[in-house]
Chain A
Amino acid sequence: MAVKKKRKGPVVENEIITLTNVSKAYSTGAPALKDVNLHISRGEFVFIVGDSGSGKSTLIKLLLRELTVSSGYINVMGYDLSRIKHRKIPKFRRNLGIVFQDFRLLKDRNVYENVAFAQRIIQKSNKEIKKNVPSILAIVGLAGKYKAKPRQLSGGEQQRVALARALVNQPTILLADEPTGNLDPKNSWEIMKLLEQINENGTTVIVVTHNREIVNAMQKRVITLRRGVIISDEEKGGYIDED
């Protein structure tokens, strides 16, 4: 995946995500993010934690350009997201893998098709799809269940399918918004271990989570948000308790 990109703006070598004075206000209520500055380097593993409503999902949505900033400047992989043209967005997103709390699988298609779907969208040939999908399913431990429909799978298994779908296109950055929010502790750990493994293979991983135990155990960079402001950003950090 050697992708050449035009670098724009104040991007330091190896820096893959840059937020400069980013604020985001929805049409109603107080701003969800206020004057956020953030730098993430290629290959980092970052937890984003904070109370409900503190702006975590808003941050993720800004990073995948589902939302645009109200003010400030945001650069991801060299793409200036406050200025990116609408027709460039698909190309930008092909470098992202995205996982949500509620899995978001296609219910009428089996495991194999759900993963293959991601490859079809980027117009891979059938031959490549037949090679890539089984190998990614093996990595997430679902090789034996490729024919099952989502409703025949446990929550943990469904999240693995979602993960496989996010990974099959070999993203540069993996964004996960509460990927273990609907899972029991054992499955949560397994998904987190997979994320760690993916990160060790070079993918930048950003995980929003409420799971205190996992955050404290994994000793990664932890960014804590409160009411739209970054109140702490620590290497090998821990989960900061609410007041």
Chain B
Amino acid sequence: MRINTFFYTLKQGFRNIFRNKLFSLASIATIAACLFLFGIFYAVVANFQHIVKNAEEGVSVWVFFDEGIEDVRIQQIGDMIAKRPEVAKMDFISAEEAWESFRDEYLGEYGDGFTENPLENSANYQVYLNDVSMQSALVTYLESIEGVRMVNRSELVATTLTGVNALIAYVSVGIIAILLAVSIFLISNTVAIGISVRKEEINIMKYIGATDFFVRSPFVVEGIMIGLIGAAMPLGFIYAIYNVVLTYVTDRFPQLSSLLSFVAVEEVFNVLVPVSLGLGVGIGFLGSIVTVRRHLRV
């Protein structure tokens, strides 16, 4: 395409938006609303997942050994566990460490009365997983290792977290799909109206020998611009809201801060900006190209 034609097409695309002010505004507003919801939704999900992730990272499995096991065997078992792909990290807690931490946490100075370690057989590996849904498979494996007396775990936490993760994924996909469909439908409507308003102009263009591409491009430019504007607007808004909410929650409920850790606004926007703009362009492109193909049988 000639550079001339490129600018002409751009200009016509912008013209379309202004000539169709009301419908353009309506589309921009709806896309902005959809992507606003999407942004809020994403911010909430990102934080939720962050919190879940934190919780997951705290989920561990304890591996205890047979009485009188040799240190070499403990070492071997440790090597076997470390080789498993689902293991994120593992710590060895010796019987002394186990006792000390128990004593410090629960007994305080009363613990001083003990001369021997009452938790003599409590040396263990504390194993953390990459993915809690793998827990039961890992446990089955661990229990089969010779020299392992007992494996402790928290099944409830693991299944809950796995369930929550799946739920978040399904709900996200569902809501995003609905929002996208609504946006595409709206852009498509706007472009269809633009086409019907300019039927005559399109006919003249065709008589003169305009290619399909030349006739269609301005409408696609229009769709993409609407999508982009509609995507850019809510981003600023979400940025402001996010900061306000974060500050509010942290100030208002300081006791929650140990339980909940929030994702930094920059981290959310690193993803949200490109995804929103990409969605805007994508929605605009799809909505207009589909309509142009259907209504512009040139």
Contact = CB atoms under 8 A, between A and B. Distances in A.
Interface in A21-68: 64, 66
Contact of B212 (A66, A87, A93, A117): A87
B205 interface: yes
A106 B204 contact: yes
B214 A121 contact: yes
A201 interface: no
B200 interface: yes
B201 interface: yes
Interface string A111-140: 000000110111111100000000000000
Interface string B201-238: 10111111111101000000000000000000000000
B18 to A, nearest CB: 11
Contacts of A122: 208-209
A124 B3 CA distance: 11
A98 interface: yes
Contacts of A64: 207
A96 B207 CA distance: 8
Interface in B1-35: 1-2, 4-5, 8, 19
Contacts of B210: 90, 121
Interface in A75-93: 87, 89-93
B82 to A, nearest CB: 64
B209 A120 contact: no
Contact of A169 (B203, B208, B211): B208
Contacts of B206: 90, 93
Interface residues of B, number: 19
B209 A125 contact: no
A104 interface: yes
A12 B162 CA distance: 81
A94 interface: yes
Contacts of A117: 204-205, 208
Contact of A93 (B2, B200, B207): B207
B209 A91 contact: yes
B130 to A, nearest CB: 54
B131 to A, nearest CB: 53
A121 B209 contact: yes
A92 B208 CA distance: 10
B1 to A, nearest CB: 8
Interface of A: 64, 66, 87, 89-94, 96, 98, 104, 106, 108, 117-118, 120-126, 165, 169
26 contacts: A64-B207, A66-B207, A90-B209, A90-B210, A90-B211, A90-B212, A91-B209, A92-B209, A93-B206, A93-B207, A94-B209, A104-B204, A106-B201, A117-B208, A118-B208, A120-B4, A120-B8, A121-B205, A121-B209, A121-B214, A122-B208, A122-B209, A123-B2, A123-B4, A123-B5, A125-B4
Interface of B: 1-2, 4-5, 8, 19, 200-201, 203-212, 214
Given A90-B212, A108-B19, A123-B1, 12 more contacts: A66-B207, A90-B206, A91-B209, A94-B209, A96-B209, A104-B200, A106-B201, A106-B204, A121-B210, A122-B209, A123-B4, A169-B209
Nearest first, the 9 closest Cβ-Cβ pairs linking A and B are: A93-B209, A94-B209, A121-B210, A90-B209, A90-B211, A98-B207, A118-B208, A121-B208, A123-B2
